[in-house]
Chains A and B, each alone.
Chain A
Amino acid sequence: MSYRSFGISLALFILATTTIWTILFSLQVHLPYVSNGAAVVGHFKRSIAAKQSDYDNSNIRIAAFGDSRTLAAFNPRVFDALFAPKVRSYNFGIPGDSQFMPVLKTLLTSGTHPTHILLQYLPMDPVVEDSWRKILKDDKLIVNTLFPFRNFVRDLFLFVSESRSDGGLLAHYRSNRDQIEKLEKDRGYYFIKSQSHYAGNRLPDGYSLPTDRPTQVLERYLNTSNNGFVELTSLANKYELQIFVVPTAVRPGELAVPPEEDKSLSDRLKSFPQIHVVGPAYWIFELKYFSDPVHLNPDGAAVYSKRLADLLKPEFGN
């Protein structure tokens, strides 16, 4: 191989990769609802936090944070109705994202900020300081920056396969768009339909997984020296936030039944008066309330939101 043919091959390679990059990038920009629910929901919620358009001047303004369990469990409409008209809440659960601090910070600096925070879990990941050395070691960040359509291509596979049972590509695209519009109306609550594969969006009787730990009580993570936690308490002081660590919902047999009060976590948080642990670490919900192994269906979400409202009644009043 001569230097000339090497040069030609290299030029062809660069040309082809650049062309493909441009095409994929354009597709991603122009077809936002091809992306999977998690990506669209995450994007939408971050933009809502920045716009800060949803809170009115209610006395109690609640922001619920967590991952997809919270997203599919906490229905603000059901919850707020039980405290009407003084409570206004919003579901900021983002699928697959345990880092809620950036969204919370955006929310606090964007205008009418929440007064109360509901947390599925306390900060787990330390807040990452951006430095070039840390960025160089963060391969996921680099690859997602260089190829912003990376997830889009994966989602395209799912989109095409799911569209067959949803009346074709166009109909499926519209259906995804409608779901996001509904998410907006439902103030962040989202039923994860794409992962529901059972009749009536209910898990069948006797459903279990090999990963279940029916004899284990799950303890919630807490590291008070984690800089994410330190930042959370400092924000709570600065903005006079009341933070509630609330239970999630798990399937029967997924974990052992926990004590009614999570004394262990409350005791460890005693020196942080702005953080309150309410209820158990998790509730065991019947299988009929789950649409898939992890997420609640709309009926489950309604029950969950009511139970949460009951739990928080002493705090917010009737």
Chain B
Amino acid sequence: MLFNSFEFFAFYSTFLAVFFVAPKRIRPILILIASYVFYAGWRPSFLLLLILTTCVDYCTALVIDNAKRHWVRRTALITALTINLGILGTVKYLDFILTNLIGVSGFLGIELPPMAVNFVLPVGVSFYTFQSVGYTLDVYKRRFPAERNPLYYAIYVSFFPQLVAGPIERASHMLAQYKEQKPSSPHRITSGLWLVGWGLFKKMCIADLAAPFVKGVYANPSAFDGSYTLIATLLFTLQIYCDFSGYSDIAIGVARIMGFDLMVNFRQPYLATSLTTFWRRWHISLSTWFRDYLYLPLGGNRTSTLVWTRNILIVFAVSGIWHGANWTFLVWGLLHGTALITEELVSRRRTNRNNVLLSNSQLVAEYALPAKKPVRFILGLTYTLSFTIVGWVFFRANKISDALKILGSWTHLSLPNYGTFKILGLPSVELFMLAIHVIVLIIVDCLLAYSPQKLSASRRSSFISVGAAVVLFYDIFLFGAFGRTDFVYFQF
């Protein structure tokens, strides 16, 4: 059930109607039922895996919390990690490992028969596994007591707005909200609706309009010259941001209407002036997850430069491979890790190294537009964006050789032909509307980053607010792409 479908609209409207009239004490049960129905919509068998993950972490966390002996706690933790990561590893990486094993054996002269298992990757498995593992680790580190009520814990793992593509939440942030259940208010409903609308706009009016062209070119990059591969990569840069941040906005909005606050997942990352700040603004819930559960346990920055370098590379390699079972993701992660290390070493900001993966609350001050240093700002923006775009080539390409071909093709640029745009799904009206939508996106993102008070002030006027809502409504319904296109991050 996709957020950008009428099926979800019908599901969510029905759910809200029941949820708002139901007594407070049965609302958690309703949320859990709705979450399971939502997830089973993809494939009912996936639900078994979700329930298994929930049971494993609920039980092992209780054992960890209650145990007095260290070895019991440790055994329970290892059991939980083995099961969770074992499931994730099997369904997501087994074929990749087998394929590479066959390749290496062939290279060594040992012929192995094809051994593909072809598991269907359960949607959102990487997200809810990480959320559940994070909780178990928090309980083990005694940062958070184990949840006694299985209902609340089950909701924490399966809460439908963020179940399939995050934000990857923390138990400390969500469990209290499920228990407290703040009443919704007109303000929360309005701001939730705005987020949903803005998320749909990004997904349907930008990401999905750009998607066919990107798909067409990246499916066979050798057939296209540099202009097309460059345009496709620029469009993918927009697509991946609008698709994923759009999903996050809708998730946050949907939860907010119900009375729950999810963490912010994106803060205008393409306005970052360094890779360090880019990673504080891109997929924040995953970055902070890796910071808390991998980077800091490895020693963070409180070690020698060599170990710190190793730590960063490990985090980015794991982050890369988390996105998918393909060498391209690993290269993408390592590319960013290496650049981040270089950037940090060059800028000699060793004292702030721990801030490479910052907390949300520390981000706000970073938005001040550096009016006094505009050249530095523009150079920083250009460098970060250019590097990010190059990184996306590896992220999107099917093979490393394709990525290298694409990068190589940029040395020969020719004038693109309109016919190709048309054949690849971007005829004139779509192209024109895409351009308009991107301009709107840039303006809104700049306002959100540098002058959020202006946006808030405009929303206080009923006429401006309603006018903008009507324009957004018709823009989505008249120019948005309909037809059940998945969110890019569902595959992860």
Residues of A within 8 A of B (CB): 1-3, 5-6, 8-9, 12-13, 16-17, 20, 136-137, 139-140, 142-143, 146-147, 150, 153-154, 157-158, 161, 197, 209-212, 292-293
Quick one: which of B318-344 are within 8 Å of A by CB? none
Those 9 A-B pairs whose CB atoms lie nearest each other, nearest first: A6-B186, A139-B482, A1-B187, A210-B224, A12-B466, A16-B470, A1-B186, A154-B429, A293-B419
Quick one: which of B440-486 are within 8 Å of A by CB? 462-463, 465-467, 469-470, 473-474, 477-479, 482-484
Q: Are B186 and A2 in contact (CB under 8 A)?
A: yes
Q: Are A139 and B466 in contact (CB under 8 A)?
A: no
Q: Are A142 and B6 in contact (CB under 8 A)?
A: yes
Q: Are B470 and A136 in contact (CB under 8 A)?
A: no
Among A9, A12, A137, the residue within 8 A (CB) of B7 is: A137
- Look across to chain B and name the residue whose beta carbon is closest to the beta carbon of A4: B186
Supposing A1-B187, A2-B186, A147-B477 touch, asked if A158 and B428 sit within 8 A by C-beta, the answer is yes
B198 to chain A, nearest CB (A): 16
- Look across to chain A and name the residue whose beta carbon is closest to the beta carbon of B480: A143
B138 to chain A, nearest CB (A): 36
Q: Are B420 and A13 in contact (CB under 8 A)?
A: no
Q: Are A17 and B429 in contact (CB under 8 A)?
A: no
Q: Are B466 and A210 in contact (CB under 8 A)?
A: no
Among A6, A13, A139, A197, the residue within 8 A (CB) of B484 is: A139
The interface residues of chain A lying within 8 Å CB-to-CB of B478 are 147, 150, 153-154
Q: Is B228 an interface residue (CB 8 A)?
A: yes
Among A6, A16, A147, the residue within 8 A (CB) of B189 is: A6
A13–B470 Cα gap in the complex (Å)?
6
Q: Is B424 an interface residue (CB 8 A)?
A: yes
A-contact 0/1 string along B90-101, CB 8 Å cutoff: 000000000000
Q: Which of B432, B466, B469 has most A Cβ within 10 Å?
A: B466
B486 to chain A, nearest CB (A): 13
Q: Is B190 an interface residue (CB 8 A)?
A: yes
* Interface residue range, chain B: 35 or more
Q: Are A17 and B482 in contact (CB under 8 A)?
A: no
Q: Are A209 and B477 in contact (CB under 8 A)?
A: no
- Look across to chain A and name the residue whose beta carbon is closest to the beta carbon of B430: A154
A172 to chain B, nearest CB (A): 16
Q: Are B420 and A211 in contact (CB under 8 A)?
A: yes
Supposing A5-B462, A211-B420, A211-B423 touch, asked if A161 and B186 sit within 8 A by C-beta, the answer is no
The interface residues of chain A lying within 8 Å CB-to-CB of B432 are 157
A248 to chain B, nearest CB (A): 16
The interface residues of chain A lying within 8 Å CB-to-CB of B75 are none
A-contact 0/1 string along B187-222, CB 8 Å cutoff: 101100000000000000000000000001000000
The interface residues of chain B lying within 8 Å CB-to-CB of A197 are 418
Supposing A136-B7, A211-B424 touch, asked if A12 and B186 sit within 8 A by C-beta, the answer is no
Known: A139-B484, A209-B423. 14 other contacts (CB 8 A): A1-B190, A3-B186, A6-B190, A9-B462, A12-B462, A20-B474, A136-B10, A139-B5, A139-B7, A143-B482, A150-B478, A153-B478, A158-B428, A211-B423
A151–B91 Cα gap in the complex (Å)?
42
Q: Are A17 and B474 in contact (CB under 8 A)?
A: yes
Q: List 20 A-B contacts (CB under 8 A).
A: A1-B185, A5-B462, A6-B190, A9-B466, A20-B470, A136-B7, A136-B10, A139-B7, A146-B477, A150-B477, A153-B478, A154-B429, A154-B479, A158-B429, A161-B428, A209-B417, A211-B420, A211-B423, A211-B424, A212-B223
